[in-house]
Structure 1
Amino acid sequence: MDKLLSLQQKIIPEFVPLLLSRYQVLRSIHFLQPIGRRALADQLHMQERRIRNEVDLLKQQELVGLTSGGMQVTSQGEMLLWEIEVYIRELQGINLLEQKIAERFGIEKVMVVPGDSDRDETVKKDLARVTAGYLNKRLEEGSILAVTGGTTLAEVAAALKLPTVKRNITVIPARGGLGEEVEIQANAVAANIAKGLGASYRLLHVPDDLGQKAMQTIAEEPKIKEILDMVRQANIVMHGIGTAEEMARRRGMPECQITELTERGAVGEAFGYYFAIDGSVIHSTSSVGLQLNELEQIGEVIAVVGGASKAAAVQAVLTNAPRDVLVIDEGAARAMMDLFYR
Structure 2
Amino acid sequence: MDNKHGYSIRLMVKCAKLYYEENLSQAQISEILQISKSSISRILSAAKDEGIVRISIENPLKDEYIGLEKDLERKFGLIEVIIVNSSNDVAEVKHNLGKATADYLKRVIKDGQIIGVTMGTTLSEVPKFIRNDKRNKVTFIPMLGGIGETEIDIHSNQIALKMARKFNADFKLLHAPSIIDDLERKEIFIQDRNIQNFYELFKKIDIGVMGIGDPLLNTSTLLESGYYTINDIKLLEKEGAVADISLLFIDKDGNGDKFDFNKRVIGITLEEIKRIPLSIGIGGPIEKRDAILATLRGNYIKVLIVDYETSKSLLRD
| TM-score, normalised via structure 2 length | 0.74
Q: Which of residues 54, 63, 78 is equivalent to 1:107?
A: 78
Q: Which of residues 244, 251, 257 is equivalent to 1:276?
A: 251
Aligned residue for 2:198? 227
Could you give the per-residue CA deviations for residues 315-338 of structure 1, whole angstroms, max 9, x where no partner exists?
011111242111111122223334
The one-letter code matched in structure 2 to 1:315 is L
Aligned residue for 1:309? 287
Structure 1 residues 205 and 247, CA gap change in structure 2 (3 angstroms)? farther
> Is the contact made by 2:114 and 2:207 (CA closer than 8 Å) also made in structure 1?
yes
**Structure 1 residue 89 corresponds to structure 2 residue 62:** yes
Separation in structure 2 between the aligned mates of residue 248 and residue 220 of structure 1, nearest angstrom: 31
Could you give the per-residue CA deviations for residues 218-271 of structure 1, whole angstroms, max 9, x where no partner exists?
222122222221222111111000112234542332112212222332221113
> Is the contact made by 2:119 and 2:246 (CA closer than 8 Å) also made in structure 1?
no
Separation in structure 2 between the aligned mates of residue 280 and residue 292 of structure 1, nearest angstrom: 9
1:291 Cα deviation after fit: 0.3
Could you give the per-residue CA deviations for residues 145-173 of structure 1, whole angstroms, max 9, x where no partner exists?
01001111110111112x32222111010
| TM-score, normalised via structure 1 length | 0.69
Aligned residue for 2:129? 159
SS at structure 1 position matched to 2:62: helix
Where in structure 2 are the equivalents of 1:1-342 lying within 5 Å? 86-90=59-63, 93-116=64-87, 118-119=88-89, 121-161=91-131, 163-179=132-148, 180-210=150-180, 211-252=182-223, 253-281=228-256, 282-283=258-259, 284-285=261-262, 286-338=264-316, 340=317
Q: Which moved more, 1:258-267 or 1:165-174?
A: 258-267
SS at structure 2 position matched to 1:237: strand
Could you give the per-residue CA deviations for residues 190-225 of structure 1, whole angstroms, max 9, x where no partner exists?
000111111111111111111322222222212222
Separation in structure 2 between the aligned mates of residue 248 and residue 318 of structure 1, nearest angstrom: 22
The one-letter code matched in structure 1 to 2:136 is R
Runs of 4+ displaced beyond 3 Å = 246-249
Separation in structure 1 between the aligned mates of residue 111 and residue 162 of structure 2, nearest angstrom: 18
1:289 Cα deviation after fit: 1.3
Task: Give the CA RMSD over aligned residues.
Answer: 2.0
Question: Alignment length, in residue pairs?
Answer: 252
The one-letter code matched in structure 2 to 1:333 is S
Q: Which moved more, 1:124-133 or 1:140-149?
A: 124-133
Aligned residue for 1:12? none
Separation in structure 1 between the aligned mates of residue 176 and residue 276 of structure 2, nearest angstrom: 22
Separation in structure 1 between the aligned mates of residue 238 and residue 265 of structure 2, nearest angstrom: 23
Structure 1 residues 221 and 186, CA gap change in structure 2 (3 angstroms)? same
1:131 Cα deviation after fit: 1.1
The one-letter code matched in structure 2 to 1:267 is V
Structure 1 vs Structure 2: percent identity of aligned residues? 25
> Is the contact made by 2:240 and 2:252 (CA closer than 8 Å) also made in structure 1?
yes
Structure 1 residues 203 and 310, CA gap change in structure 2 (3 angstroms)? same
Separation in structure 2 between the aligned mates of residue 272 and residue 183 of structure 1, nearest angstrom: 16
> Is the contact made by 1:125 and 1:159 (CA closer than 8 Å) also made in structure 2?
no
SS at structure 1 position matched to 2:243: strand
Separation in structure 2 between the aligned mates of residue 140 and residue 280 of structure 1, nearest angstrom: 32
Structure 1 residues 225 and 247, CA gap change in structure 2 (3 angstroms)? farther
Unaligned 5+ runs, structure 2: 1-56
